[in-house]
């Protein structure tokens, strides 16, 4: 059954656009009826040529001031290397004061391309997960307590206080591509974030069941978890253009093993450019017909995802927002009842 409270969002691609344009796109998304907008957080883009990587918290602050309704968040920040968890807690506390009830924090374990240039050592996945788990615990405490003294394996504080934080708690979502992170989301998160374009079995048999089971084991109601997914979509009445636009994000067709430890945007670009258009497009829902497009999105809603963030690959994002708001969003809202 379609999930209750469906929220339809828009991805602000910090890898592809500069700060001014991202703020204008957030405003346009609100005007076009999107419920949310999520920005990526990067030090470096996947692609060196024509790439961007503005500071996400600054862009969100500007977007908070330029909008009135739309919810804004990160998808996702790595609160473990470039940023101390306390800095992330402070940044989000400030944003929560600027836009009460309208911001959320999405966190993940990170990628080498963003962290290695400012970090001497890139640890294995086990340590990256352990760091994230500890960081989430510390951020939660800093948002809810005064004078926090924390002694973890990786992070330490002494009588730390976040003085500016909103009365309304800030939701925290954990990005997951495997069972461990999904369980973390269920135990301590307000929701789970993942991306489309992978095997449906991953969502149905691994991510969602692990998150829900972990919530139950932690004596939490699994039904309150917000299941969030970034939907990779390329929609245009000209199907050839919709297909060609996916090449702007060829890097997403690289496997996690191929790109996780690559720390140079020029090398990432080289690897991606070697892929065929068919391989690249296979990670996207590429459509010229709105009804067919919605039918390809429907299985994710049927699984229980109730926050869909649409990521479009083309350069004409204003055109995408117009097309999607007129042709796709109404159909999805009818589908959700």
Contacts of 272 (CB under 8 A, 6+ apart): 46, 47, 250, 251, 253, 254, 280
Q: Residue 98 is encoded by which pair of tokens?
A: 């600027």
Q: What is the pLDDT of residue 4?
A: 55
pLDDT tens by residue, 9-48 = 999 999 999 999 999 999 999 999 999 999 999 999 888 8
Peptide bond into 11 cis (omega under 30): no
Q: Say which residue the tokens 């007129």 belong to.
A: 326
pLDDT tens by residue, 231-247 = 999 999 999 999 999 99
pLDDT tens by residue, 87-144 = 999 999 999 999 999 999 999 999 999 999 997 789 999 999 999 999 999 999 999 9
Q: What percent of the chain has pLDDT over 70?
A: 99
pLDDT tens by residue, 131-178 = 999 999 999 999 999 999 999 999 999 999 999 999 999 999 999 999
Q: Confirm if 171 and 190 have CB atoms less than 8 A apart.
A: yes
Stated pTM of the model: 0.94
pLDDT tens by residue, 292-320 = 999 999 999 999 999 999 999 999 999 99
Q: What percent of the chain has pLDDT over 90?
A: 82
Q: Categorise residue 73: left if φ over 0, alpha if ψ from -120 to 50, beta otherwise.
A: beta
Domains defined along the chain, listed by start: 7-335 (3.20.20.30)
């Amino acid at each position: 059954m379609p999930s209750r409270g469906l929220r339809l969002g828009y991805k602000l691609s910090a890898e592809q656009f500069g700060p001014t344009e991202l703020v204008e796109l957030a405003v346009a998304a609100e005007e076009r009826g999107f419920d949310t907008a999520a920005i990526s957080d990067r030090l470096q883009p996947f692609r060196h040529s024509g790439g961007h990587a503005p500071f996400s918290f600054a862009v969100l602050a500007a977007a908070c001031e330029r909008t009135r309704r739309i919810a804004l968040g990160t998808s996702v920040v790595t609160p473990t290397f470039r940023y101390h968890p306390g800095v992330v807690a402070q940044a989000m506390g400030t944003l929560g004061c600027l836009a009460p009830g309208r911001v959320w924090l999405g966190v993940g374990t990170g990628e080498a391309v963003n962290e290695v240039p400012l970090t001497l050592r890139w640890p294995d996945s086990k340590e990256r997960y352990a760091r994230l788990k500890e960081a989430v615990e510390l951020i939660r405490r800093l948002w809810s307590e005064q004078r926090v003294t924390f002694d973890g394996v990786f992070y330490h504080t002494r009588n730390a206080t976040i003085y500016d934080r909103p009365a309304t708690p800030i939701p925290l979502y954990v990005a997951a591509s495997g069972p461990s992170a999904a369980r973390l989301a269920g135990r301590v998160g307000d929701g789970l974030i993942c991306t489309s374009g992978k095997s449906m079995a991953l969502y149905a048999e691994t991510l969602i069941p692990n998150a829900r089971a972990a919530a139950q084991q932690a004596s939490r109601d699994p039904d309150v978890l917000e299941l969030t997914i970034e939907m990779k979509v390329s929609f245009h009445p000209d199907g050839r253009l919709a297909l060609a636009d996916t090449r702007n994000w060829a890097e997403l067709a690289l496997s996690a093993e191929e790109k996780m430890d690559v720390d140079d945007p020029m090398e990432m670009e080289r690897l991606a450019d070697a892929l065929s258009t068919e391989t690249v497009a296979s990670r996207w829902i590429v459509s010229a017909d709105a009804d067919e497009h919605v039918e390809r999105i429907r299985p994710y809603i049927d699984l229980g995802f109730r926050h869909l963030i649409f990521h479009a690959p083309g350069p004409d994002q204003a055109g995408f927002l117009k097309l999607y708001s007129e042709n796709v969003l109404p159909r999805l809202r009818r589908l959700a009842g």
